[in-house]
Amino acid sequence: MGIIKVENIRVYANHGCLKEETIIGSDYRVDVEVKANLKPSSNSDALEDTVDYVFLNNVVREEMAKPSKLLETVAQRILNRFFDEDKLISKATVSVSKINPPIGGDVEMVTIQLSQKRKK
């Protein structure tokens, strides 16, 4: 098994429970870690034998562009797409962070993290 990470994907999106959050939007950070068998690609040097990190980044950007009230919902959509669209992924972890959340305090970010294994 091996691990591929795509870290600190920065996006501007419109998530939140407050109406203002979905109108104004804010900055987010997304971190992705996937586990897959990287032995074939380490021997073949072929992109089709590995998990393409461009694919991972594109899924994150596309799902972050769809407004949701909860970050958990966005993270689960990202995980669903990873497993539906790339059969090499055996486990994935997605962290979604809202930068400077409007929670009445000096808070750098809030983060939710979801992990999931491929169902057999």
- Within 10 angstroms of residue 26's Cβ, the number of other Cβ atoms is 17
pLDDT value, residue 17: 86
- Six token digits for residue 74: 């966005």
Nearest-angstrom CA–CA distance, 120 and 108: 39
Beta bridge partners of 34: 4, 92
- Cβ atoms of 63 and 96 within 8 Å: the answer is no
What is the structure's pLDDT at 40?
96
Residue 98, helix vs strand vs coil: strand
**Catalytic positions:** 98
* Helical ranges in the chain per DSSP H: 19-24, 39-44, 53-64, 71-85
Q: 2-117: which CATH topology? A: GTP Cyclohydrolase I, domain 2 (3.30.1130)
From first to last of its 120 residues, the chain has per-residue pLDDT tens of: 999 999 999 999 999 888 888 888 999 999 999 999 999 999 999 999 999 999 999 999 999 999 999 999 999 999 999 999 999 999 999 999 999 888 888 999 999 999 999 987
pTM: 0.94
d(Cα 27, Cα 11) in Å, to the nearest integer?
6
